[in-house]
């Protein structure tokens, strides 16, 4: 929404309008309850809303059109608002910690290897907002995040998709590809159930040391450095 608000808003509204007929349940969540994110057009097409604890009364009004969410106790305490009721209903939702969520996701991943259709994200999407182009989650983005991912793994001494997701704020598919790339390069060991993979490299220079030297040589050639491999006159004589 911050990068291309109009494009995202239009897509969300279109999905919301067609979702009922297609049997799609659209769930939208945000940690930033402002009018820039929860626009009037989105609210008009998403009538069912949930508000957890917020800091200010204005945030509560942005979500459910009235005050009350700023007085909630947290830990799953929420207000549920739908058109069928005149006022929001207070509900105690189940509290799931990050650790529990990670365990459930890890268990599900062990059941079957994920299958991705790369053609879905093979083409760049042209946006009309602040972002000129949002590239797909292909090799270009993986290359850009490669060094950061290796640094995170070496620094923490363990490797897992959930770790990369948290530290780099990327999706599961991209984090999984980076993990596979590290295993192929011999940076980490193979998967061992739900345990984090073993890190086989102790120093990040072991991975990028030669790369940086090659880049420096290439930069020198680009600046016009001349490398003379011809022998001296004395050697010719």
- What are the DSSP calls for 110-146, one per residue? HHS-----GGGGSS-EE-SSS-SEE--SSHHHHHHHH
What is the residue range of 159's domain? 98-220
Same domain, 159 and 192: yes
Residue 138 lies in a domain: yes
Q: What is the pLDDT of residues 77-101, one digit of tens each?
A: 999 999 888 899 999 988 888 899 9
Contact 207, 150 (CB under 8 A): yes
Please identify, among 54, 72, 92, the residue that sits at the C-terminal boundary of a domain. Answer: 92
Q: How many domains does the chain have?
A: 2
Residue 233 lies in a domain: no
Q: What is the pTM of this model?
A: 0.45
Q: What is the pLDDT of residues 104-126, one digit of tens each?
A: 999 988 888 777 777 766 655 55
Contact 72, 52 (CB under 8 A): yes
Same domain, 54 and 33: yes
Task: Give dist(CA 62, CA 81) in Å, integer.
Answer: 12
Same domain, 214 and 104: yes
């Amino acid at each position: 929404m911050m990068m291309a608000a109009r494009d995202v808003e239009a897509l969300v509204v279109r999905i919301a309008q067609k979702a009922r007929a297609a049997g799609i349940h659209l769930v939208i969540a945000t940690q930033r309850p402002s009018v820039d994110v929860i626009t009037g057009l989105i609210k008009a097409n998403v009538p069912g809303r949930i508000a957890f604890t917020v800091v200010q009364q204005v945030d509560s009004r942005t979500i459910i059109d009235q005050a009350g969410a700023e007085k909630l106790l947290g830990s799953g305490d929420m207000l549920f608002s739908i058109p069928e009721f005149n006022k929001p209903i207070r509900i105690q939702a189940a509290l799931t910690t990050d650790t529990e969520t990670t365990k459930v996701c890890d268990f599900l991943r062990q059941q079957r290897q994920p299958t991705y259709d790369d053609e879905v994200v093979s083409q760049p999407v042209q946006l009309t907002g602040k972002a000129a182009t949002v590239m797909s989650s292909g090799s270009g983005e993986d290359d850009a995040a490669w060094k950061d991912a290796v640094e995170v793994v070496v620094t923490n001494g363990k490797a897992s998709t959930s770790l990369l997701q948290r530290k780099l704020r990327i999706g599961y598919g991209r984090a999984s590809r980076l993990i596979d790339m590290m295993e192929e390069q011999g940076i980490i060991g193979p998967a061992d159930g739900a345990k984090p993979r073993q890190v086989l490299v102790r120093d990040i220079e072991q991975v990028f040391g030669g790369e940086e030297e090659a880049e420096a040589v290439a930069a020198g050639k680009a600046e016009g450095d001349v490398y003379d491999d011809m022998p001296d006159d004395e050697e010719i004589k």
